[in-house]
């Protein structure tokens, strides 16, 4: 079967756009082929700095013929109905339709529509120009007098179609004055001439001869393998960097790896500074001394040229730039060390964190107060927690972080260490940003744990206070990541923390920051508060400001939550519950069990929640647990039906032992009494395995009760007493979870 080869040749495509563009080209073209009736065996897309290419194999030479029947109106229908039918079916007159007889419906018209297949070349010739014109580049441009938009000026289009055994034909079409053909170009400098190609294999071979490696993965592998070999030959190891390798593969069509060097004196800089400087400015790899973690004064660059002098001039040029950049970095480092981090904190007042939440300096104050409050829960030194929180953002106003923002936190640790801060404080300054993704490690030391929690809770509470929460796929402030970070830190370190209380302190601080200017219109400033507070807003506001500020600054006992606080907290806790479901689901737990545990009152200790969920899951995986759940549902369904007649709560209270007649109901009552005592005792000592095991032992008595006892007895008192037994089953399970939330 024939194959299709398409290439769109242009000026340099930014490396960051190439992979997505190749996938977009593949999807747009293959979707269009299928829509046109052309199914294919396989498709591969490629990108180099100057071209997007697509090879589609196993296409038919033409789309299939289609025969379709379209049912029309009955014979004798009004003229308007016949006209509509003819127009929709594409018939010139009703004589072209077929009359079909039906015993029930009578005679009606049917149009037989035959659509002959189309040549694949014709479909492609219509499809590709449309794809080019509507291609979804993140950024595009126009050039010359034309109206076509492309990432960079489009210079040629190659499009051939044919089998291995015949001469492929050029699929002829035109896009804004560019005619398709069967020619392309090789490397800009090493082989700039025009190349005529036939099919994909021929295309790849001739490009290779013209110093172009088409496959970006192969270019990346060449870069990494050559870099490793060159480093090894000098007794060094390559510092692996897959992200940089992918980026550099998008900058070259013919990768040539070369080695340069710089003065040993620069190695006195922090290794991350050296690596970031060389990576960011020159897209080069650093090396380390073989078998150690110490950087070497050598770097590896990737050229797009096989130079006649073996790259000596290229290396010399890169060395000059690297030396200059490292000299700048050394200046930043030495300048930053002259000013203690503590003296930089005041400068944070001049950096706006968010227009509604104040400056970075104000935010640091909130984080510090929250860290002091949390230190009692995390076991951190109160002095170190407060100090680390105060200094955590100070490196944002250093020269080095101003140049390389990605080094924030890390540079703070280096400066704190050099300036005599305690190891715990220095480590916390770096670690408080963690975790920054699912694969990132969580802080493990008490001070770092404390500041990281304070930072993330303040971030979440702040944006909850001003109604800028995540919506749909939009999360510009990475609040989902922050919530998952809190959850991972708490669970990994088994921090016993009432999350609602901690969130209340954070929220109250942020509400105060927003509302401090009493003269402003509160409804306009914070719509969420107006919506939750209602008529009480004006009356409560003065009291709220005075008492909330005193409680926070003095760390006194919390006064009762105001209406707007309660509503916002409930919403924030629901957000944490959703994130916890995501986390536990990734670990293999059932999200409905999270709902069942969170449905209980005051379930704000994430360590206990996950312990309950795990124990509940293990119980339900057992035969006794599964049968107990079935018995619970049967009891709950009966109660629901009967409560509609007698009123909700009609069967509350303890069943009367005097009304227990049948052995099975007596046995159930005794088992329930034992189970409830055992569950309460186990929950008090947080032994949820024992609690769920005690519940599971109810399986036999519950099954026996339903097998042998008529719940809705004729005697009203007996009926009520037996329904109270069922309510007791429901009540017993609530000590562990709300079984009504469990699916399956």
For residue 698, what is the domain's CATH number? 1.10.730.10
- What pLDDT score does 557 carry? 47
- Same domain for 143 and 281: no
Note the pLDDT tens digit of each residue in 118-146.
Answer: 999 999 999 999 999 999 999 999 998 88
Residue 584: predicted pLDDT? 84
The pair of structure tokens assigned to 3 is 């194959």
DSSP state at residue 407:
G
What pLDDT was estimated at residue 532? 47
**Strand partners for 51:** 9, 48
pLDDT beyond 50 at 536: no
For 489-523, write each residue's pLDDT tens digit.
999 999 999 999 899 889 988 887 776 644 344 44
Residue corresponding to tokens 């744990």: 449
Residues in the chain: 744
Task: Report yes or no on 592 lying in a domain.
Answer: no
If you ran DSSP here, which 8-state letter would residue 536 be given?
A: G
**Distance, CA of 482 to CA of 489 (rounded, Å):** 10
Q: What is the pLDDT of residue 71?
A: 84
Query: Which structural domain range is residue 461 located in?
Result: 343-586
Give the confidence band of 581 by pLDDT, cuts at 50, 70, 90: confident
Q: How confident is the model at residue 565 (pLDDT cuts 50, 70, 90)?
A: confident
Domain limit, last residue, from 531, 555, 586: 586
Q: Is the pLDDT of residue 555 over 70?
A: no
Phi, psi dihedral angles at 106 (to 5 degrees): 85, -165
In the structure, how many helices (H) and strands (E) does the chain have? 28, 18
SS (H, E, C) 316-378: HHHHHHHHHHHHHHHHHHHHHHCCCHHHHHHHHHHCEEECCCEEHHHHHHHHHHHHHHHHHHH
DSSP 559: P
Asked which of 5-9, 142-146, 594-598, 616-620 is least confident by mean pLDDT, the reply is 594-598
- Both 53 and 87 in one domain: the answer is no
The per-residue pLDDT for 548 is 64
Report the relative pairing of strands 178-181 and 154-162 from DSSP bridges: parallel
Q: What is the pLDDT of residues 662-694, one digit of tens each?
A: 999 899 999 999 999 999 999 899 899 999 999
Angle at 51 between CA 48 and CA 52, to 5 degrees: 95
What is the band of 66 on the pLDDT scale with cuts at 50, 70, 90? confident
Identify the domain boundary among 209, 235, 260: 209
Helix (H, G, I), strand (E, B) or coil at 256: strand
403: in domain: yes
CA separation for the pair 51, 45 (Å, rounded): 11
**Residue 449 pLDDT greater than 50, yes or no:** yes
For residue 74, give Cα distances in angstroms to 68, 78, 94, 106.
19, 9, 12, 7
Residue 691: closest CA among 669, 676, 705, 670:
676
Q: What is the mean pLDDT of residues 358-370?
A: 94
Task: Identify whether 51 is part of a domain.
Answer: yes
Q: Are residues 226 and 299 in the same domain?
A: yes
Give yes or no: residues 705 and 735 share one domain.
Answer: yes
Classify 60 as helix, strand or coil: coil
Helices 499-515, 360-378: crossing angle, 10 deg rounding: 160
Express each pLDDT in 42-51 by its tens digit. Answer: 999 999 999 9
Residue 627 to residue 697: CA distance in whole angstroms: 10
pLDDT at residue 398 in the model: 97
Domain-ending residue, one of 518, 552, 586: 586
| pLDDT band per the 50, 70, 90 thresholds, residue 556 | very low
Q: Is residue 169 pLDDT above 50, yes or no?
A: yes
Tokens representing residue 275 in the block: 């690596």
**pLDDT at res. 519:** 38
What number is the average pLDDT over the span 463-467?
Answer: 90
- Please say whether the beta carbons of 303 and 318 come within 8 A: no
In a domain, 599, yes or no: no
3-state SS assignment for residue 303: strand
Q: What residue has token string 């806790």?
A: 573
Q: What is the pLDDT of residue 554?
A: 57
Spatial CA neighbour of 51 closest among 155, 177, 200: 155
Q: Is residue 127 part of a domain?
A: yes
Q: Which of 691, 700, 703 is nearest to 635 (CA)?
A: 703
pLDDT of 533 strictly over 70: no
Residues 138, 199 share a domain: yes
pLDDT the model gives residue 551: 61
Between helix 606-621 and helix 591-598 the angle, nearest 10°, is 120
Cβ atoms within 10 A of the Cβ of 530, count? 15
Cα gap 345→364, rounded to integer Å = 9
Mean pLDDT of 388-414: 97
Q: Quick check: 582 and 484 in contact, CB under 8 A? A: yes
Q: In what order do the strands lie in the sheet with 66-74?
A: 66-74, 106-115, 98-102
pLDDT of residue 543: 62
C-alpha–C-alpha distance, residues 591 and 593, integer Å = 5
Q: Is 165 in the same domain as 279? A: no
Q: Quick one: average pLDDT of 436-441?
A: 90
- Nearest CA to 378 among 506, 503, 552, 494? 494
φ/ψ of 273, rounded to 5, equals -70, -45
CB 120 within 8 A of CB 161: yes
Residues 111 and 126 in one domain: no
Is residue 111 located within the same domain as residue 124? no
Domains contained in the chain, number? 5
Instruction: Please state the rounded mean pLDDT for residues 154-177.
Output: 93
Shared domain for 53 and 105, answered yes or no, is: no
Residue 127 sits in the same domain as residue 107: no
Q: What is the dihedral of CA 645, 650, 654, 656, to 10 degrees?
A: -50
- Output the pLDDT for position 522: 47
Q: Are residues 490 and 540 in the same domain?
A: yes
45: which 2 tokens? 């897309």
Residue 262 reports pLDDT greater than 80? yes
**C-alpha span between 528 and 524 (Å, rounded):** 10
Measuring CA to CA, how many Å separate 411 from each of 276, 348, 361? 12, 16, 19
Tell me the two tokens of residue 61. Answer: 């030479």
Same domain, 433 and 527: yes
Structure tokens at 586: 């990734």
């Amino acid at each position: 079967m024939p194959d299709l080869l398409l290439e769109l040749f242009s000026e340099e495509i930014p490396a960051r756009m190439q992979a997505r563009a190749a996938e977009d080209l593949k999807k747009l073209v293959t979707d269009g082929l299928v829509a046109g009736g052309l199914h294919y065996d396989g498709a591969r897309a490629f990108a180099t700095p100057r071209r997007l290419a697509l090879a589609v194999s196993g296409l038919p030479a033409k789309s299939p013929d289609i025969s379709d029947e379209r049912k029309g109106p009955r014979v004798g229908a009004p003229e308007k109905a016949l006209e509509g039918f003819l127009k929709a079916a594409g018939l010139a007159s009703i004589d072209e339709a077929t009359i079909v007889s039906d015993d029930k419906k009578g005679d009606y018209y049917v149009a037989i529509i035959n659509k002959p297949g189309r040549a694949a070349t014709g479909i492609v010739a219509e499809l590709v120009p449309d794809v080019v014109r509507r291609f979804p580049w993140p950024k595009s441009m126009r050039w010359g007098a034309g109206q076509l938009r492309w990432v960079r000026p489009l210079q040629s289009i190659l499009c051939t179609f044919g089998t291995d055994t015949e001469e492929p034909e050029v699929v002829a079409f035109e896009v804004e004055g560019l005619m398709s053909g069967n020619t392309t170009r090789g490397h800009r400098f090493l082989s700039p001439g025009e190349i005529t190609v036939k099919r994909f294999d021929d295309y790849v071979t001739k490009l290779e001869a013209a110093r172009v490696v088409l496959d970006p993965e192969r270019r990346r592998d060449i870069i990494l393998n050559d870099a490793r070999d060159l480093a090894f030959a000098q007794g060094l190891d390559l510092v692996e960097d897959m992200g940089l390798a992918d980026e550099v593969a998008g900058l070259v069509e013919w990768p040539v790896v070369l080695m340069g060097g710089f003065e040993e004196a620069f190695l006195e800089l922090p290794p991350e500074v050296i690596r970031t400087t060389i990576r960011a400015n020159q897209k080069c790899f650093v090396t380390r001394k073989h078998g150690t973690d110490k950087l070497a004064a050598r770097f590896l660059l990737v050229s797009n040229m096989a130079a006649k002098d073996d790259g000596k001039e290229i290396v010399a040029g890169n060395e000059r730039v690297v030396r200059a950049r490292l000299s700048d970095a050394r200046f930043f480092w030495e300048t930053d060390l002259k000013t203690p981090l503590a003296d930089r904190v005041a400068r944070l007042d001049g950096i706006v964190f968010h227009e509604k939440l104040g400056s970075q300096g104000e935010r640091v104050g909130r984080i510090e107060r929250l860290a002091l409050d949390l230190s009692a829960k995390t076991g951190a030194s109160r002095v170190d927690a407060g100090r680390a929180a105060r200094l955590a953002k100070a490196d944002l106003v250093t020269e080095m972080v101003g140049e390389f923002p990605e080094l924030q936190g890390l540079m703070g640790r280096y400066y704190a260490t050099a300036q005599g801060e305690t190891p715990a404080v220095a480590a916390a300054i770096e670690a408080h940003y963690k975790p920054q993704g699912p694969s990132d490690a969580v802080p493990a030391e008490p001070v770092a744990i404390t500041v990281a929690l304070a930072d993330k809770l303040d971030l979440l509470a702040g944006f909850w206070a001003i109604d800028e929460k995540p919506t749909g796929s939009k999360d510009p402030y990475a609040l989902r990541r922050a919530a998952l970070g809190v959850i991972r830190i708490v669970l990994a370190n088994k921090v016993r923390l009432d999350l609602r209380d901690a969130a209340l302190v954070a929220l109250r601080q942020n509400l105060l920051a927003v509302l401090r200017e009493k003269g402003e219109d509160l409804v306009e400033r914070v719509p969420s508060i107006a919506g939750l507070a209602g008529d009480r807003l004006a009356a409560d506001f003065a009291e709220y400001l005075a008492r909330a500020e005193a409680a926070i600054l003095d760390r006194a006992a919390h006064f009762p939550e105001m209406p707007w606080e309660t509503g916002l907290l409930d919403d924030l806790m629901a957000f944490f519950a959703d994130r916890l479901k995501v986390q536990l689901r990734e670990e293999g737990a059932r999200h409905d069990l999270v709902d069942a545990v969170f449905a209980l009152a005051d379930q704000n200790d994430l360590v206990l929640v996950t312990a309950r969920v795990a124990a509940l899951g293990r119980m339900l995986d057992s035969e006794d647990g599964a049968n107990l759940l079935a018995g619970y549902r049967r009891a709950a369904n009966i109660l629901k039906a009967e409560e509609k007649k007698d009123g909700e709560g009609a069967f509350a209270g303890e069943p009367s032992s005097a009304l227990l007649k049948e052995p099975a109901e007596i046995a159930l009552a005794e088992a329930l009494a034992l189970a409830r005592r055992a569950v309460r005792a186990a929950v008090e000592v947080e032994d949820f395995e024992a609690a769920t095991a005690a519940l599971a032992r109810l399986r036999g008595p519950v099954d026996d009760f339903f097998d042998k006892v008529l719940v809705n007895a004729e005697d009203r008192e007996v009926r009520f007493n037996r329904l109270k037994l069922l309510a007791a089953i429901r009540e017993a399970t609530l000590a562990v979870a709300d079984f009504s939330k469990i699916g399956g």
